[in-house]
Amino acid sequence: FVNELTKDDVTAATLFQAVMAVPGRVIPNVPEVEAAVLRGEKLFETAGCASCHTPSLLLSYGGHQFTEPNPYNPAGNATPADTPVVTVDLNSALLPLPRLRLEPFSGTVAVPAYTDMKLHNMCGGAAPLDEPEPLDMQQAAGSAGFFAGNCRFLTKRLWDAANSPPYMHHGLCTTMRGSILAHGGEGLAARNAFMALPAADQDAIIEFLKTLQVLPPGTADRVVDENYKAKVWPPIPDNML
């Protein structure tokens, strides 16, 4: 089929995805769980997970203005020279909640997506399920590179981790723990660091990941308790209250 969709259709579908509400966090008001989550956040970084699953990326001034077509579209896609540009403020109060917040003084927006948006080699055979995929979809169809297989995968966004099983690029991991253990290649060091932790610390990392969730439509705050009420996080120490 050729030209099944008009440029207007593509623009509408793109904007629909761009303005979707962002994920948040659900942290129960249970002291034991709160302590585990707080510890898990720190261990997530010290174990090396955050070297690829970057906790937050910063949109510079004006970066919250989404345009379609985007000026950075790869060759072969629509560009601003091809069709009228539509611009949407992703921080607009008219869009579905929850939303990211614009820092009033800097004009920047922190995006806690837990990704570096980069491709990483995840193969090597040292971890379960880390074999190459038979086809490299990033190469021209039918080329030698296409049939050479693929080991490079985009770092998965984790900000909806609790709602997005099965895990990994192949979807063969049904649990968070299983997906961590399946990391090979550039992710092997973090996997090994996780495995070297005491069981309680491994569980703390899982508890942290379980807080990263898609929230019910219209939830005003991105960090909430089990009743979807706004929650201060990290908690304020007692000696500072």
Of 14-18, 49-53, 57-61, which range is least confident?
A: 57-61
Burial of 83 (0-12, 13-18, 19+ CB in 10 A): middle
**Overall pTM surpassing 0.85 (yes/no):** yes
Structure tokens at 192: 């090994």
Band (240; pLDDT cuts 50, 70, 90)? low
Band (193; pLDDT cuts 50, 70, 90)? very high
Give the pLDDT confidence of 71-130 residue by residue, as tens digits: 888 888 888 998 889 999 999 989 999 999 988 888 899 999 999 999 999 998 776 778
Alpha helices in 5-64 (DSSP H): 7-18, 31-46
* Sequence spans of domains, the chain: 31-52+117-220
Please, are residues 157 and 111 in contact by the beta-carbon 8 Å criterion?
no
* Choices 1.10.760.10, 2.40.160.40, 3.90.550.10, 3.40.50.9100: CATH for 31-52+117-220: 1.10.760.10
Q: What is the gyration radius of the CA atoms in the chain, in angstroms?
A: 20
End-to-end Cα spacing for the chain: 64
Average pLDDT, the chain: 93
Q: Which residues of 202-232 are buried (b: 16+ CB within 10 A; e: fewer)?
A: bebbbbbbbbbbbbeeebebbbbbeeeeebe
